[in-house]
Structure 1
Amino acid sequence: MDEHTRRTLDSLFSPRGIAVVGSMKEGKIAGQVIVQLVEGDFPGRIWAVNPKSEAPPKYPEIPARSSLSEIPDELDTAVICSPAATVASVLEDAGRRSVSSAVILTSGFGEIGHLEEERRLRQIAETRGIRLIGPNCAGIMSSGARLYASIEVRALPGSVAFLSQSGAVGGAVLAMAEERGIGFSKFVSFGNRTDLGEVELLDYFLEDPETEAAALYLESVQEGRPFIEAARRFAARKPLILIKAGRSEAGSRAAGSHTGSLAGSDEVFQVVVRETGAIRANDLEEMLDLCQGVSSLPPVKGRRLLLVTNSGGPGILTTDAAEKSGLQIVPPREQQQARLREFLPPHASVSNPVDLTVEGSAEDFRRSLELLLRSDAYDCAVAINVGTPFIDSQVLARGIAEAAESTGKPVAAVFMAGRIVEEGLKLFHEKNIPAFPTGERAVRVLAAMAARQEFLRRPTPTRSQKLRTLGSGPSPAPLQPPVLMSTGMDLLRHYGLPLPNYRFVPAGEKASDHIDHLSYPLAMKVVSPGLAHKSEVGGVALNIENPEELDHSFQRMAERLGAGSFAGVLIHEMIPQGLELILGLKHDPSFG
């Protein structure tokens, strides 16, 4: 990221002054944004801008002007909530005022087919040197700067940056996160992504000291290759959680109507996730679980899981989910089991799960976790408490928290359920111990974090990295359909893939004149545009032993297909019998 863009984004997330453009009447978006800024204790100057120079009724002391150019103070950012027809002129005004960034909440552009109007916004911004978020977005937040330029629930402070293509999803996640006590360092709803999108924002958050991880909700990827590189850069240093809508055919159509962009193939996106080292969430609940895990737990360095529970049923369910997620449930060593029996209740199970029974105390939880986690037998643990009214959940939580702190290993808590465990959950929040509603959800987080560490330890480059190193010299010219088999073979050879020796013989020539340096036996395959299955039309001849047989096969194929369909043949040496693998190519609208 260039220094100018970085400085612009610094001022976007920590502006000295901010102007909100739009109607300040009760219930209008612009007025609500100012309410959020004031009640979020924004330290900079706030201005209201609208034709009547009105301030919001709730805060009439906010200074108001009829245009951005009338504001005398330092002004870094404009939040535009005025009608779609006015946004272009407001941007022009922002340019004259030397505003460096604008957040456009207004909808009514590319998402409803008004692409030309959206392109005009981009042109004005480029001409005036303004960087844009939106349009059709829900705003931005920076908890460290006390900036809440949005109509959504104010984010709690945290260490995860949350980016959302959908404003509604962004707002829902913020509300869900607030209920669970999960905070965010930054929030960006980028909407139609006319200018700034996930690529530049990921690069910015990679260097942001307030951000330790990022979560990204996408409905489409606009710049596939740059996104892969940005995701790879980010995931190599900080956890990256991705959730993408439009996985089904119907969902893909719905995503296109929402933000006016193509969703692309989910199979391709899954490969991108795997090859960049990101973590994919299947739904919003799992995304928040992962946010809680990566922001609270130390790295999960292996898959060996310890379960300590005071109830058998939830322990069994968690064991099933753990194994399904790829975690390993191994029993303690005999010596460890003997030591557990010294202090646990008589009916306790000292296998894995370690079942303390309902008699299990805070000291039992602490000592069991410390004994086993301090050995090299386990990498992480889940502690499960099924609460009863006569047991103080806070006392149990303290024992688990002490074990997590003393061992330094990842410990996730599961306290079930309702008001009888509220005090215990409060203590976990204070101690930054992640607590999940069920053991199944806890182990999915631990498994994802373990997989991330395995990716980071991979000694060899990914397949996509290897492919970029193949070949030398200038790239071949772009392929134009129809792509003949001979052209495809030439392309594969250019990129260094091992191929049998081959020759292309065009129609009208003699096959035996083209086989210098080829050794019998040979294979001949017809080259014909639009022909998918060569063998069905007699377009394959194998184990050709001499020139006469070669020319005869060539002539026979030419006669069968006719002059209009026969482009020639590909002749190559026969190779030893082995695994036959058929590969196909697909053009994805996002990744190419």
Structure 2
Amino acid sequence: MRPIRDILEAQSVVVIGASRDQEKPGAQLLKVLKDVGFAGRVAGVNPQGGNVFGVPLYPCVRDVPFEIDLAVLLIPPRFVPDALRDCAVKGVKGAVISAEGFAETGTQGATYQEDVRAILKSSGMRGFGPNTLGLVNTQTKLTTSYFANSQMLASGHIGFAAQSGIFVGALLRYLSSLTGLHLSKGIGLGNKVDVNESDALSFLADDEQTKIIGLYLEDVKDGGRFVKNLKKATARKPVLIIKSGRTQAGAKASATHTASMAVEDSVFDGIVRQAGAIRLHAIDEFVRTLKGFLNMPLPAGDRLAFVSYSGAQAIMSIDTTIEQGLQAARLADATQARIGRVIATSSKTKNPIDIFPDWLTHGYEKTITEVVKALLDDRGVDGIVFISFAEANPEVYQSLVNVVQADRRKPVFVSLLGDSLDKAACERLLDAGGLPCFDFPEQAVRVFARMRQYAKRIKGTE
């Protein structure tokens, strides 16, 4: 079976269903490939020939005068089998089938999908979908999404595969709009007529550009192969999984979405734990966890220290710490003495450290710098959560960024509360400096817990 790397690293793309109407998806995809800088050969297929955006259109894929690595089929389901047969004759390596209307819609659609499966199997061509926007490779600027843009093709380290259609494109556009959360590779699985989650895991585990893997799944095709490939992947890099269909109603909805067969949720949970992956239940959790893994070192232990202007938020955070199976760090006497240089009240030099009102005396930047440096040097502290408020002038946090950038021994997270516009400005500065910023400290604690879970997994202590 041909490896999917051959398709993800395609050097030639043909769009089947490329209209001469510049507003239609096929024409738009040809324009996108030019705009984002894809350097490979590109052509379109249209029965009437011609050209669009300066790209030649040929009546049939067999008429294209160069070898084709990847065909993107933007045509209705009833035309897909014949188009794939032409692709097989041409020797196309792989195909992305974008249309919906296959097995998820009923008997006729299921017949089309079985025809597609048979053609792919007999020809050796690899197929993505149907019901997917397909592929992204930010190294080569390959995309099969007609609403991609240059921002989405900015090079990053997140490898993402999803059993969905347009959701993949929407999520990737959102991630790429956030500082530091750019993609390495994106793989749309859709109905998984051929390429499935196990293929994607195997590829992303081996991909040097990918530092962390994300999966969105509704079911699993081959449980044994999935577990094997998931274990292989988690031994090399973190794997974050969102699986929907956790409830009976959700499972029923997934059957009409991508023709999925439900997997007992408790069984899936066990598989994920056994393999050492991290399961999440929502996109916001996924994004926050990405921030932690991509920007911070893995924690060496489970002891957290808190620096706060507010006793209330710190106490709630410690409750979450204990609930997550972590510990509130006990600070060394030497650490408390160092903190005492800028915090006059001795009780406030213990964990959680309360910097108010002392920062009014010593200055905010000096106070937070001294406190964080002391905690980074304390061997009894494995991570730091800095709880503060959103300043109108975000530059006050630059000194904190500088301290953390200079000392990467431990994960440090920031939580800011306050005016939404001020917070957005502060968060941009912190994120640009590689310092993850969250709305609430409990979120930071949960991210730390997931990172600790993975750290224990790769050391074989879980």
Query: What's the TM-score, normalizing by structure 2?
Result: 0.91
Contact 2:120 2:127 (C-alpha < 8 Å) held by counterparts: yes
The one-letter code matched in structure 1 to 2:49 is S
**CA–CA separation in structure 2 for the residues paired with 1:276 and 1:226:** 12
**CA–CA separation in structure 2 for the residues paired with 1:299 and 1:386:** 26
C-alpha deviation, 1:187, in angstroms: 0.9
Aligned length: 450
The one-letter code matched in structure 1 to 2:289 is L
Change (3 A) 1:430 1:30: same
Match of 1:44 among 40, 47, 50: 40
Contact 1:345 1:356 (C-alpha < 8 Å) held by counterparts: no
Q: Which runs of structure 2 are paired with 1:138-157 in the superposition (5 Å)?
A: 138-154=133-149, 155=152, 156-157=154-155
The residue that corresponds to 1:28 in the other structure is 24
Query: Are 1:413 and 2:411 an aligned pair?
Result: no
**Greater relative contact order: 1 or 2 (C-alpha under 8 angstroms, separation 6 or more)?**
2
Q: Secondary structure at the match of 1:144?
A: coil
The residue that corresponds to 1:519 in the other structure is none
Change (3 A) 1:79 1:340: same
C-alpha deviation, 1:337, in angstroms: 1.4
The one-letter code matched in structure 2 to 1:65 is Y
**CA–CA separation in structure 2 for the residues paired with 1:373 and 1:147:** 42
Q: Which runs of structure 2 are paired with 1:313-328 in the superposition (5 Å)?
A: 313-328=312-327
**CA–CA separation in structure 2 for the residues paired with 1:362 and 1:68:** 64
**CA–CA separation in structure 2 for the residues paired with 1:353 and 1:51:** 70
The one-letter code matched in structure 2 to 1:151 is Y
Match of 2:170 among 169, 172, 175: 172
Q: Secondary structure at the match of 2:187?
A: strand
Q: Which runs of structure 2 are paired with 1:38-117 in the superposition (5 Å)?
A: 38-56=34-52, 59=53, 61-113=54-106, 114-117=109-112
Query: Are 1:128 and 2:133 an aligned pair?
Result: no
Change (3 A) 1:320 1:35: farther
Contact 1:404 1:410 (C-alpha < 8 Å) held by counterparts: no
Q: Secondary structure at the match of 1:210?
A: coil
Q: CA-to-partner distance for each residue in 1:330-370, whole Å, 9 max, x for gaps?
A: 34223321221112366982122212126362232222122
Q: Which runs of structure 2 are paired with 1:88-487 in the superposition (5 Å)?
A: 88-113=81-106, 114-154=109-149, 155=152, 156-181=154-179, 182-344=181-343, 349-357=348-356, 359=359, 361-389=364-392, 392-417=393-418, 418-458=420-460
Greater mean deviation of Cα atoms: 120-129 or 426-435: 426-435
Q: CA-to-partner distance for each residue in 1:74-129, whole Å, 9 max, x for gaps?
A: 42100111111111111111112211011110111111132222121121112222
**CA–CA separation in structure 1 for the residues paired with 2:321 and 2:211:** 26
**CA–CA separation in structure 2 for the residues paired with 1:348 and 1:395:** 26
C-alpha deviation, 1:407, in angstroms: 4.4
Query: What's the TM-score, normalizing by structure 1?
Result: 0.72
Contact 1:305 1:329 (C-alpha < 8 Å) held by counterparts: yes
**CA–CA separation in structure 2 for the residues paired with 1:90 and 1:270:** 40
The one-letter code matched in structure 1 to 2:384 is A
Q: CA-to-partner distance for each residue in 1:140-175, whole Å, 9 max, x for gaps?
A: 111111112113554343211011101233233223
Task: Tell which structure's C-alpha radius of gyration is larger.
Answer: 1
**CA–CA separation in structure 2 for the residues paired with 1:124 and 1:398:** 61
Aligned-CA RMSD value: 2.1
Greater mean deviation of Cα atoms: 344-353 or 63-72: 344-353
The one-letter code matched in structure 1 to 2:132 is C
Change (3 A) 1:65 1:18: same
The one-letter code matched in structure 2 to 1:37 is L
Greater mean deviation of Cα atoms: 265-274 or 378-387: 378-387
Q: CA-to-partner distance for each residue in 1:438-487, whole Å, 9 max, x for gaps?
A: 21211111101101122223369xxxxxxxxxxxxxxxxxxxxxxxxxxx
The residue that corresponds to 1:12 in the other structure is 7
**CA–CA separation in structure 1 for the residues paired with 2:408 and 2:226:** 38
Change (3 A) 1:38 1:438: farther
Greater mean deviation of Cα atoms: 247-256 or 111-120: 111-120
**CA–CA separation in structure 1 for the residues paired with 2:404 and 2:373:** 5
The one-letter code matched in structure 1 to 2:339 is L
Contact 1:348 1:357 (C-alpha < 8 Å) held by counterparts: no
Q: Secondary structure at the match of 1:342?
A: coil
Contact 2:339 2:371 (C-alpha < 8 Å) held by counterparts: yes
Change (3 A) 1:159 1:128: same
**CA–CA separation in structure 1 for the residues paired with 2:5 and 2:220:** 24
Runs of 4+ in 1 over 4 A off after TM superposition: 345-348
The one-letter code matched in structure 2 to 1:411 is V
Unaligned ranges ≥5, structure 2: none
Change (3 A) 1:184 1:407: closer
**CA–CA separation in structure 1 for the residues paired with 2:287 and 2:262:** 23
Contact 2:145 2:169 (C-alpha < 8 Å) held by counterparts: no
The one-letter code matched in structure 1 to 2:230 is A
C-alpha deviation, 1:292, in angstroms: 1.8
**CA–CA separation in structure 2 for the residues paired with 1:384 and 1:148:** 40
Contact 1:16 1:76 (C-alpha < 8 Å) held by counterparts: yes
The one-letter code matched in structure 2 to 1:414 is S
Change (3 A) 1:152 1:274: farther
The one-letter code matched in structure 2 to 1:399 is L
Q: CA-to-partner distance for each residue in 1:313-344, whole Å, 9 max, x for gaps?
A: 43333323222222211342233212211123
**CA–CA separation in structure 2 for the residues paired with 1:459 and 1:414:** 30
Aligned identity (percent) is: 28
Unaligned ranges ≥5, structure 1: 461-592
Change (3 A) 1:35 1:318: farther
Change (3 A) 1:325 1:397: farther
Q: Secondary structure at the match of 1:299?
A: coil
**CA–CA separation in structure 2 for the residues paired with 1:261 and 1:186:** 24
The one-letter code matched in structure 2 to 1:17 is S
**CA–CA separation in structure 2 for the residues paired with 1:263 and 1:401:** 48
Q: Secondary structure at the match of 2:391?
A: coil
Contact 2:297 2:408 (C-alpha < 8 Å) held by counterparts: no
**CA–CA separation in structure 2 for the residues paired with 1:421 and 1:109:** 45
**CA–CA separation in structure 2 for the residues paired with 1:429 and 1:104:** 37
Q: Secondary structure at the match of 2:349?
A: coil
Contact 1:159 1:184 (C-alpha < 8 Å) held by counterparts: yes
